Amino acid sequence: MIEAANLSKRFGAVEAVKDVSLVARDGEITGILGANGAGKSTCLRMLYGVLTPDNGTARVDGMDIRGETSKARARLGVLPHATGLYGNLTARENIHYFGSLHGISEERLISRTAELARVLDLDGFMDRRAKGFSQGQRIKTALARALVHDPGNIVLDEPTNGLDVMAIRSLRELLRALRAEGRCVLFSSHVMQEVAALCDRVVIIGHGRVLADATLESLRERSGKNSLEEAFLQVLGGTEGVS
Amino acid sequence: MSALFTVFRKEFLENLRDRRALLSALLFGPLFGPLLFGFMVSRMLNQSVAESDEPLRVTVSGSDHAPGLTRYLQAQGAQLKMATLTEGEGRAAVRNGSAQIVLIIPPEYGARFTAGTPAPVLLVADSTDSQARKSADRARILLGGYASGIAQLRLQIRGVNPLLAVPVAVNEVDVATPTGRAVVVLGFMTYFVLFAVLMGGLYLAIDTTAGERERGSLEALLSLPVARSSLVGGKILATCAYMCISLALSLWAFVCVFYFIPLERLGMSANLGVRTGLIFFAICLPFVPLGAALMTFVASFTRSYREAQTYLTTVLLVPTLPIAFASIYSLKTRNSLMFIPSLSQHLLMTSVLKDEPVAALDVCVSAAASLGLALLLMVLTARHWRRETMLG
C-alpha cells in the first residue's frame, strides 16, 4: 500500500504539487491522470523518494520513505519516466545489476530472472546487449529490472509512452497479473482510455492539486454521465492537454 | 559494502566493453606520451652528439694578411674555407645562409699587428640561429686563445712576467652529474605520467555520472535502497582501477623507450629501469584516487556528456600547474611542498631519477596529502549525490 498525505513541492516560484493526498491499495490498480505538467511525475518522485517534499509524508506499507528509506524502497519497484538501460550490458546483466544492488543472492537472482523472462517474454533478447533494443524491449527489460526484488508495490511513470499497440496490450495484461497477485500498482498517464481500461481507482490531478479521487463507477455515477470520458472531462473542466 | 563492489564490477565490465573508450584510456593516454617523448629526446640527443663531433667551419677572407692566425686556427682543428669578400659580401653570405660564420681579416691587420696596436678582425654570425651562435662562441674562444698566447709572448720578450697580466685565475667547477644533466631533459616526463593516470579514468568518470544521467538510467538507480555513498564509492573505485592500469602501461612504455634511447652517448644515465618504474608506480599510486575523485566530482555537476567532456579536459591540465610553477621558480624538494599533490609526485620522481636519497617522511606526507584530498572530494561527491538536484 502506498499513501501520500498532504504532499507539496515547490521549484523556485512554481508550485508543482499542492497538498496532494492519495492512497493506492493492495490488489488494486490506481491511475494518476493529468495533463503534461500537471505534477504527476513530481508527485510520483516524492512517493519513491528521489524528491524531498516541502510538506507532507509518503509511506510504503506504512513505512516513511524519508525516515525508513531503505526498508520502504526495498518494498517498492520503480519504473521512472526515463527507462534508460546500460547499453553495453545484456538484458540479463541489466536485471542482475539491480537485483544485486537489492541484495538478492546469486541463486535467487537466477531463478527470479528466469521467472521474469517467462512472464515478460524476454527470452528472445535476454543475452543481447541493450544498445540495439526496440522501445518495447526496453520497457520490458526495465520492467523486469523494477520487479526483480519481487516488490509488493509498483510505481510506473507513463509506462505506455512510445509503445506500439501490441506492447501496450501485453503491458496491460502484466499489470492485471500483478494486481491478481495482490500487489499495489500505481501508474501515471495522460491518456484517458489507458486509465479507463486498466484502473480500479483514478486520481485526477490538475495544476498540482487532486481534482478527484474515486473508483471508476462512483465517478460515473457522481457525474451522471454514461461514458467515462465525459465524466473525466467534467472533472477536468478547463484543464487542457489530456487526450 | 557489497553494493559498492556490485557497482564497481558493473562499471568495470561496462567500460571494458566500450571499445572506443578503452582505446583512448589504455592506448592513447599512456602510450602517446612515452612515444612522443622518446622520439623528441632521441632527436635532441642525436643532434647534440653530432654537433660536438663536428669540426668548426669558418669562411675566412684575407687569410694572407694573417698567416699566423690562420695556421693557429687550422692547428686547433677548424676547417677554413678561403675566400675574398668585402664586409658587405660577408654579411650577405651569412644572411643568405651560404656561410655560417665569416671571419674577415682587413689588409691593415699585418701593419697593426707588427706595430703592437690592436689588429682588427671582423667576425660575422647570426645570433638568432642557435646553432650559428654555438659555432660563433667556439670561434670566439679560439680567437681569444690566440690573442692571449700572443700577448704573453710579447710581455715575455719585453722582460715582463706574463702572469702579471692574469690577476685572477678563474677555475670553474661544473657539479652536474651525468644523471643530473639527464633530469633537465627528462623534466617534463613526470607530467606525461600524471596525464596518463587522468586519461585512463576520463571516460569512466564521465560515463558513470553525466552518462548515467543522459542515458536516463540515473533515476532508477537512485530509487534503489542503496546508500549514495556506496554508488559513488563503487564508481570512483572503477575509475581508479582503469587509472592504475593506465599508469602501469605508461610507466612500462617509458621503461621500454628509455631502454632504447642512447643517453649514455652524452655521458648521461637515465636511471629508469624496471625497479625505478615500480618505485614510480608506488609514488603515483596515491594520486590515482585523487584523480578519480576529482574527475567524478566535477563530472557529477554536469548535465550532459558533452558538458562533462569540456570541463574534464580542463581538469587534465590541473596537474601541470604546480609542475610548471615549480620549474619557473626552480623549486627543490622541500617538506612543505610535499603537501601539494602532483607537485610532490613530480619532485619525488625527479629525486629518484637523479639518484638522490628520498626521505621516507616525504613519501608519507605526499601520499597522505593526496589521499586526504581524495577522501574530501569523495565525501563532497557523495553529498552532492544525496541532493535531489542530482536528478537534473
Judge whether residue A5 has pLDDT over 90. yes
Judge whether residue B123 has pLDDT over 70. yes
DSSP state of B268: -
- Is the same domain home to B128 and B221? no
Which position has the higher pLDDT, B326 or A36?
A36
Rg of chain A (C-alpha set)? 18
- Is the same domain home to B71 and B146? yes
The string of pLDDT tens digits covering residues A220-236 is 777 776 677 777 777 77
Number of structural domains, chain B?
Answer: 2
Instruction: Look up residue A213 and give its amino acid.
Output: D
The string of pLDDT tens digits covering residues B186-245 is 666 888 899 899 999 999 999 999 999 998 999 999 999 999 999 999 999 999 999 999
For the ranges A207-211, B27-31, B209-213, the lowest mean pLDDT is seen at B27-31
Q: Do A94 and B220 touch, CB atoms closer than 8 A? A: no
Q: What is the grid cell recorded at A64? A: 516513511
CB contact under 8 A, A45 and B391: yes
Q: Using CB atoms, pick whichever of A72, A74, A80 lies closest to residue B220.
A: A80
Q: Do B285 and B276 touch, CB atoms closer than 8 A? A: no
- Is the same domain home to B192 and B327? yes
Report the gap between the CA of A243 and the closest CA in chain B (Å): 26
Q: Using CB atoms, pick whichever of A74, A88, A142 lies closest to residue B18.
A: A88
Evaluated on CA atoms A224, A227, A228, A231, the torsion sign reads negative
The string of pLDDT tens digits covering residues A71-100 is 999 999 999 988 889 999 999 999 999 999
- Is the same domain home to B367 and B312? yes
Task: Give the count of beta carbons closer than 10 Å to the beta carbon of residue B177.
Answer: 15
- Is the same domain home to B195 and B220? yes
Would strands A153-157 and B79-83 be described as parallel, antiparallel, or unpaired?
unpaired
- Is the same domain home to B238 and B130? no
First CA to last CA across chain A, in angstroms? Answer: 29
- Is the same domain home to B35 and B108? no
CATH number at residue B83: 3.40.1710.10
Judge whether residue A68 has pLDDT over 70. yes
Average pLDDT over residues B44-63: 76
End residue of a domain, out of B171, B189, B207? B171
- Is the same domain home to B101 and B20? no
Candidates A184, A153, A156; CA nearest to A76 is A153
Q: Tally A–B CB contacts below 8 A.
A: 80
- Is the same domain home to B167 and B185? no
Nearest CA in chain A to B17: A88
- Is the same domain home to B233 and B363? yes
- Is the same domain home to B307 and B355? yes
Average pLDDT over residues B286-301: 96
Angle at B288 between CA B285 and CA B291, to 5 degrees: 150
Q: What's the CA dihedral at B147, B151, B154, B155 to 10 degrees?
A: -170
End residue of a domain, out of B145, B171, B197? B171
CB contact under 8 A, B220 and A48: no
Three-state DSSP class for residue B161 = coil
Q: Using CB atoms, pick whichever of B17, B18, B225 lies closest to residue A102.
A: B225
Q: What is the pLDDT of residue A7?
A: 93
- Is the same domain home to B91 and B142? yes
Rounded Cα distance, B317 and B319, in Å: 6
3-state SS, A182-215, equals: CCEEEEEECCHHHHHHHCCEEEEEECCEEEEEEE
End residue of a domain, out of B154, B171, B188? B171
Average pLDDT over residues A105-127: 92
ipTM, interface predicted TM-score of the complex: 0.91
Nearest CA in chain B to A103: B3
Residue A93 with chain B: CB contacts under 8 Å: 10, 13
Q: What is the pLDDT of residue B267?
A: 57
Highest mean pLDDT (candidates B16-25, B55-64, B285-294, B333-342): B285-294
Q: What is the grid cell recorded at B214? A: 543522459
Which position has the higher pLDDT, B272 or A51?
A51
Evaluated on CA atoms B338, B339, B343, B349, the torsion sign reads positive
What is the span of the domain harbouring residue B15?
Answer: 2-46+179-391
The string of pLDDT tens digits covering residues B139-163 is 898 899 899 889 888 988 888 888 8
Rounded Cα distance, A98 and A224, in Å: 47
